[in-house]
Amino acid sequence: MRILIVAATPIEVAPVVAGLRALSGRGPRLTRYAHAAHDVDVLITGVGMVATAAWCSHVLALSRYDLALNVGVCGSFDPDLKPGDVVQVVTDCLAELGAEDGEAFVSIHELNLPAEDEFRNVAPPANAALGRLPAVRGITVNTVHGNERSIAAMTMRCRPQVESMEGAAFMQSCLIHEIEFAQVRAVSNVVERRNRDAWKLAEAIGALGVVALSILEHQ
pLDDT by 10s per residue, the chain, length 219: 999 999 999 999 999 999 999 997 777 799 999 998 999 999 999 999 999 999 999 999 999 999 999 999 999 999 999 999 999 999 999 999 888 888 888 888 888 888 899 999 999 999 999 999 999 999 999 999 988 999 998 999 999 999 999 999 999 999 999 999 999 999 999 999 988 888 999 999 999 999 999 999 998
**What is the tally of structural domains in the chain?**
1
Rounded CA gap, 134 and 89, in Å? Answer: 8
Amino acid at 75: G
Rounded CA gap, 91 and 151, in Å? Answer: 19
The reported pTM is 0.94
Element (H, E) at 166: none
* Phi and psi at residue 81, to the nearest 5°: -105, 110
Owning domain of residue 70: 2-218
Beta strands in the chain (DSSP E): 2-7, 21-27, 30-35, 38-44, 67-76, 86-94, 98-101, 104-107, 118-120, 135-140, 162-164, 181-190
Cβ–Cβ under 8 Å, residues 33 and 13: no
CATH code of the domain covering residue 132:
3.40.50.1580
- Cross-strand partners of 107: 98
Shortest CA distance to 5 belongs to which of 24, 26, 30, 27? 30
